[in-house]
A and B are shown apart, each in its own frame.
Chain A
Amino acid sequence: MHIHPLDTFQPRESVVHELDARVKLVTALLLIIATALTPDGAWIAYILIWLLILAIVFASRLGVIPVLRRSLIALPFTLAALPILFSTPGDALLVIPMFSRRLALSGAGLVRFSSILLKSWFSVQVAVVLTGSTSFPLLLQAMRSLRMPKVLVAVAGFTYRYIFVIADETMRLMRARSARSAAYNGKGGRSVLWRASVTGNMAGSMFLRSLERSERIYAAMVSRGYNGEIRSLSAPELGVSDVLLCLPVVAALVLIQVMARLWL
């Protein structure tokens, strides 16, 4: 099976890869919800959750470092939470004079900001393991079992199928553009407006190509008997062992939640 470089699925021989996709999806969602429910500042609970996630990463043989690296993708968004450092009421740890105002960094703000940061980072790691260990078609099948509408699953399947085709076409367009734009300083020549209009033309051209491609695809489907009904293979039976494997994870999560609220 040819896997496009953009695809995030990494085939491996691991327990996690073999697990039923439905179990993995539900467990992943439970992990993320449990992380979100953990109260701010419950540092030991956070460490326990992270150990749980790292155990799953280890079991999936995806490699801890690659997973952590991929999970940093959410990092730029933490800028959005930065103001919470200064706006949460509490004892000021640090005062930064800025223009005519003085920004007070509060201890409570620091706790809240770090909690958001850590929880978000953990959630992304869970998502990385899920997509790294489950091929997208299987994931779609899992979502269908969890009652996602048939048409939506079918559209998503088509999108997945053609993303790489059209992405490759787009990269060829961009390569052609750089090959034809005599660029002295790397910008691509002439004015910003010109560059933007070239990009716009590329988008328009891609749209027309995609539209015509979709019409050819539709014609091919109709000539092979498509009448609008979406048929799919039924999912394999849910193995008891798969469910049993995820029970300890759920139990651990519940335990951590209880502990975080009572003791830690």
Chain B
Amino acid sequence: MLLSSILPTPAPMHIPDGFLSLTVSVVCWVLGAAGVGIALWRSGEELGERQVPLMGVLAAFIFAAQMLNFTVAGGTSGHLIGGALAAILLGPWGAILTMSTVVGIQALLFQDGGLIVMGANILNLAIIAPLVGYGIFRGVTALIRNRRWSILAAGIVASWFSVVVSAIAAAIQLAFSGTSPLGVALPAMAGVHALIAVGEALITTGALSFILAVRPDLLAESESRAKGWGWALTGLLIAVSITLFAPLASPNPDGLERVAEDQGFMAAALDAPYRLIADYVLPGVSNDAVATILAGAIGALVVAGIAFLVARARHRRSHS
């Protein structure tokens, strides 16, 4: 059908009505409305009377950009959601405003996403995705010296993470609603979107390289608008934590442990000579889930710290 080839493909992340419990929907509405409210206020301050025409037309751009695709293989194609691209080009607040308008219109006009659960869709696609993308973009551009490479590399990483983190948020909402157990939803959503996110990363970076070549002043403008270490630091922390935290969500024992249990040689394993954080549970914290999360976060920070130091050392060595 011609229309279905023109309509934006229903992205797996636009949650329809009926999949989230009313409690989760209401909570997400509150969070989503708060985020959009803040974005309205901040972008209004930045843009003044240009806000309405600028944001309106650019939201239309995002909507149309989501129709762009390229063939990957056979029947699959790569798509753009645009959260990170919007944040890089328009700043975090402009991105939240345009993306939420797009989500709203997709739900209201095209039934892509439910009405009651629109708060959750706005939270995932219009708030979490751009904010994560922006933070990571700032973080990575702060790390790399060469301007062109920093923007392109940052674009790849930021857009990839914006899609995956947004999918993880959706999985968490589904789990809290009792629609899909976390142990299945999290790895499934994260896994599928890890692949989809590659398409996003490619298109976003292509767009950034085009704009860098034709209108570099636009990117410089958005860079100068952003100041301070806050975004950069938060972005990097999110990126590393998510990478290491997600696999912990599976309640099933690790592959090797599982095989060991099955085959009965679990008992033959020797205890480690030291027990700092045994079994990924932080000693002293009573709640299991919280303890696991804290342990994961500490682990992520340690790895991040080591990675940063190694990167600094190599950077210095290559420049001396």
Q: Which residues of A contact B (CB under 8 A)?
A: 5-8, 28-29, 32-33, 35-37, 70-71, 73-74, 76-77, 79-81, 83-84, 87, 100, 116-117, 119-124, 127-128, 131, 136, 139, 149, 151-152, 154-163, 165-167, 169-171, 173-174, 186-188, 192-193, 195-208, 210-211, 213-215, 217-218, 221-222, 226-228, 230
Contacts and interface: CB of A to CB of B under 8 A. Distances in A.
B204 A155 contact: no
Contacts of B85: 203, 207
Q: Tell me if B's interface is mostly helix, strand, loop or mixed.
A: helix
Contacts, number: 282
Contacts of A136: 108-109
Contact of B179 (A29, A116, A122): A116
Contact of B105 (A156, A208, A213, A227): A156
A80 B60 contact: no
25 contacts: A7-B109, A73-B10, A77-B12, A77-B16, A84-B180, A120-B16, A120-B114, A123-B16, A123-B17, A123-B115, A127-B108, A131-B108, A166-B61, A173-B68, A174-B67, A195-B70, A196-B78, A196-B203, A204-B211, A207-B85, A207-B89, A210-B57, A214-B57, A214-B58, A218-B50
Interface residues of B, number: 84
Contacts of B218: 208, 211
Contacts of A128: 111
A133 to B, nearest CB: 13
Contacts of B284: none
A202 B68 contact: yes
Contacts of A156: 56, 59, 101, 104-105
B214 interface: yes
Contacts of B209: 197, 200-201, 204
Nearest to A195: B70
Q: Tell me if A's interface is mostly helix, strand, loop or mixed.
A: helix
B63 interface: yes
B114 A208 contact: no
Contact of A227 (B49, B68, B69, B206): B49
A210 to B, nearest CB: 4
Given A83-B184, A202-B68, A204-B208, A73 B214 contact: no
Interface string B24-45: 0100000000001100100010
Contacts of A210: 57-58, 60-61
A81 B19 contact: yes
B64 A198 contact: no
A117 B214 CA distance: 48
A203 B49 CA distance: 26
A37 B19 contact: no
Contacts of B65: 170, 203, 206-207
B166 interface: no
Given A131-B108, A197-B202, A203-B203, A174 B68 contact: yes
